[in-house]
């Protein structure tokens, strides 16, 4: 319920702001060289001369029906665009988050278990690099090395020009699997490697640091010493008894980085010519394309709300002291 | 059961379960080495409860953790340990024979696993009947239901019983209890002490009970060892040490126990602090705080003097040669 209120709030604020800024939606839609009569025509077509309140009500009604309006710049229905661009970004964000969890959690545990030894020091150095190297720089370096020099991986894009399959879900990896052709899957996967690696660097570094810190704290607890006295194997102590206590803070941050990466994927998408939400939104901002900005803001709000809901569920599963009301 | 009665009536001396000789523990923080335990020797007999008394910082907890091999690798532990007369290493070999119960069940129980899961980890058994048996032995009712409960759903007393159940699930011969009643209210304290006394009887557990509270020690311990600055100040049977305390430190500790007869009088306290182990101690470690101290106390380290069978004191006042 409160999640719905958050989304409504975001929609309302972006709607109001888009009408407050000193620019005329009708003339934006009609174009720079439109004559006044044409602008007036557009104003009537788009219902822009109606009172603000009735515009707002009809806008909310449209949203509930899944109609996000029409882009000023491209004149395409926004819902259609989002169906193409959102899965592209989500695919990157899901893969990057999965990678940072699969690698970051074991690495953080290993670093804590080997505290102050060389493997710990190198993992910590790697983590600091991950969170501090700017993505556009690491992206260019990886392209230079793996695409231009070694020619192991494609430079940019989601597929080769010659690859084609039915876009059922918009998640190309899923679509490629559905197409039943392994060469499609291999092509899509190869295109994913570099952008995902670049995008995962930050959450991966963060995960290693958070898990390591939380593990070190938990490993000093009485119940861990008690398990040692009880001769529970060290591997069980690390991977089960201590890890479950350490996961919570890391997963919370990781969930928020996921949501953040959906709205901030622009740099990665720009370098890898990835047709995603970030690029779509940035283009809209440059063109003052308000319907698109409002729609994208709403989508991002939905992602944040969904992530927080999932985090609440995970939290109550991990920590019995947390009760869902 | 007849065996236990024999022990109580003193007709049969039970075998020595664990013997510690000349244990030294030194830590090396950046500020310089700290000698936390400076040569402690004692014996623990089968089915016996040995109380280890002393104020904070006297080396009680470090002693137990050194025996169990739980100290960080940066600390050095020297001395010898024998289990049933067999030499044993101090690198954690004792863990297979011993269990440790902590002060605060809120910290010694893992908050994110059920009691059943924790019993499983510790005992390696998945049989619910066996697991609830451990809870039953620790005096918990409805054990089948409690297997699915989380520690935060327990009261302090129940939590400490669950912690004891976890210790029993290790099927130990030796039980180390580090201030097991300090975090509990008085009624629950008594219940936990009764539980420890009962377990000693039923399982012939040998127990080392650490407590700063001599009233607690008086209730359950057969023998007492009073530690001061990492050394044994006085040791003997509970009645020897508590009814005729011979070390001024033991006397001072006893005077600082609140008594119902003394209501209205201000409670005695020992002036000063336990010396920190960084400085080399000349003479008797307690001399700076001792009301009986004289010149000899500051210059020479007192030896252990035997007063009676089993009752020894490290104090020049009890030196028969003087």
Task: Give the residue ranges of DSSP H helices in A114-149.
Answer: 118-132, 135-142
pLDDT at residue B290, as a whole number: 83
Whether the per-residue pLDDT at A216 is higher than 90: the answer is yes
* 8-state DSSP, A77: B
The CA distance from B146 to A187, in Å, is 54
Q: Across the interface, do A223 and B150 touch by the CB < 8 Å criterion?
A: no
- Chain B residue numbers with beta carbons less than 8 Å from the beta carbon of A241 are 110, 113, 121
Kindly compute the dihedral angle of the four CA atoms of residues B254, B257, B258, B262, in this order, to the nearest 10 degrees.
Answer: 10
Q: Across the interface, do B68 and A227 touch by the CB < 8 Å criterion?
A: no
In this predicted structure, which of A1-15, A110-124, A129-143, B62-76 has the lowest mean pLDDT? A1-15
What DSSP element (H or E) covers B41? strand B34-45
Give me B244's structure tokens: 């005729």
For chain B, the average pLDDT equals 86
* Mutual angle of helices A78-113 and A243-263, in 10-degree steps: 150
The reported pTM is 0.82
pLDDT at residue B21, as a whole number: 92
- Chain A residue numbers with beta carbons less than 8 Å from the beta carbon of B100 are 225-226, 229
B303 vs A111, which has greater pLDDT?
Answer: A111
pLDDT at residue B26, as a whole number: 92
pLDDT at residue A286, as a whole number: 86
pLDDT at residue B4, as a whole number: 47
- Taking only the tens place, the pLDDT of each residue in B247-262 is 989 988 888 877 767 6
Q: Across the interface, do A230 and B121 touch by the CB < 8 Å criterion?
A: yes
- Nearest one of B72, B210, B92, B114 to A219, comparing CA atoms: B72
User: DSSP readout, A5-71?
Assistant: HHHHHHHHHHHHHHHHSS--HHHHHH-TT--HHHHHHHHHHTTTTS-HHHHHHHHHHHHHTT---B-
- Chain A residue numbers with beta carbons less than 8 Å from the beta carbon of B177 are none
* Residue A4 to chain B, least CA–CA distance (Å): 31
Enumerate the β-bridge partners of residue B289: none
Average pLDDT over residues B61-65: 91
């Amino acid at each position: 319920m409160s999640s719905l209120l958050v989304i409504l709030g975001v929609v309302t604020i972006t709607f109001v702001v888009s009408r407050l800024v000193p620019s005329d939606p009708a003339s934006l839609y009609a174009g720079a060289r439109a004559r006044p009569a044409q602008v007036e025509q557009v104003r009537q077509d788009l219902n822009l001369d109606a009172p603000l309140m009735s515009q707002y009500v009809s806008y909310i009604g449209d949203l509930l029906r899944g109609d996000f309006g029409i882009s000023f710049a491209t004149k395409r229905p926004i819902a259609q665009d989002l169906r193409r661009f959102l899965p592209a970004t989500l695919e990157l964000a899901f893969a990057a988050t999965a990678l940072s969890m699969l690698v970051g959690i074991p690495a953080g545990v290993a670093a804590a278990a080997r505290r102050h030894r060389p493997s710990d020091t190198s993992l910590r150095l790697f983590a600091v690099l991950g969170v501090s190297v700017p993505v556009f720089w690491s992206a260019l370096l990886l392209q230079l090395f793996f695409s231009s020099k070694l020619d192991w991986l494609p430079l940019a894009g989601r597929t080769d020009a010659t690859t084609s399959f039915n876009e059922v879900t918009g998640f190309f990896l899923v679509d490629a699997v559905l197409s039943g052709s392994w060469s499609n899957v291999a092509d899509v996967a190869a295109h994913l490697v570099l952008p995902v690696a670049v995008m995962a660097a930050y959450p991966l570094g963060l995960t290693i640091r958070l898990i390591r810190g939380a593990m070190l704290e938990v490993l000093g607890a009485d119940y861990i010493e008690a398990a040692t006295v009880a001769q529970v194997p060290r591997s069980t102590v690390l991977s089960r008894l201590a890890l479950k206590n350490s996961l919570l803070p890391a997963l919370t941050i990781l969930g928020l980085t996921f949501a953040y990466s959906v709205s901030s994927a622009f740099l990665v998408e720009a370098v890898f010519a990835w047709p995603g939400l970030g690029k779509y939104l940035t283009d809209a901002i440059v063109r003052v394309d308000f319907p698109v900005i409002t729609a994208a803001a709403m989508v991002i709000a939905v992602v944040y709300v969904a992530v927080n809901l999932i985090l609440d569920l995970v939290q109550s599963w991990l920590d019995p002291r947390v009760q869902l009301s | 059961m007849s065996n236990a009665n024999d022990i109580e009536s003193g007709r049969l001396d039970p075998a020595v379960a664990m013997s510690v000789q000349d244990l030294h523990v030194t830590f090396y923080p950046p500020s310089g080495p700290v000698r936390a335990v400076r040569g402690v020797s004692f014996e623990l007999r089968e089915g016996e409860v040995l109380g280890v008394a002393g104020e904070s910082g006297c080396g009680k907890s470090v002693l137990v953790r050194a025996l169990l091999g739980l100290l960080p690798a940066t600390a050095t532990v020297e001395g010898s340990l024998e289990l049933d007369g067999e030499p044993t290493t101090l690198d954690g070999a004792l863990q297979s024979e011993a269990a440790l119960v902590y002060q605060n069940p809120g910290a010694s129980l893992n908050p994110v696993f059920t009691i059943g899961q924790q019993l499983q980890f510790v005992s390696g058994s998945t049989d619910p009947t066996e697991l609830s048996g451990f809870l039953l032995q620790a005096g918990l009712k409805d054990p089948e239901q409690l297997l699915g409960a989380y520690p935060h759903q327990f009261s302090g007393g129940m939590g400490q019983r669950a912690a004891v159940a976890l210790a029993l699930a290790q099927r130990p011969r030796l039980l180390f209890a580090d201030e097991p009643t300090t975090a509990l209210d008085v009624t629950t304290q008594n219940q936990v002490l009764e539980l420890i006394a009962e377990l000693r009887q039923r399982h012939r557990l040998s127990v080392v009970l650490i407590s700063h509270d001599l009233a607690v020690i008086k209730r359950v311990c057969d023998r007492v060892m009073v530690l001061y600055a990492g050394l044994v100040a006085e040791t003997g049977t509970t009645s020897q040490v508590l009814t005729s305390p011979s070390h001024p430190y033991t006397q001072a500790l006893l005077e600082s126990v609140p008594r119902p007869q003394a209501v209205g009088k201000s409670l005695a306290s020992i002036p000063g602090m336990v010396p920190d182990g960084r400085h080399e101690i000349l003479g008797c470690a307690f001399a700076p705080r001792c009301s009986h101290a004289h010149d000899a106390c500051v210059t020479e380290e007192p030896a252990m003097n035997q007063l009676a069978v089993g009752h020894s004191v490290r104090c020049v006042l009890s030196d028969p040669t003087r």
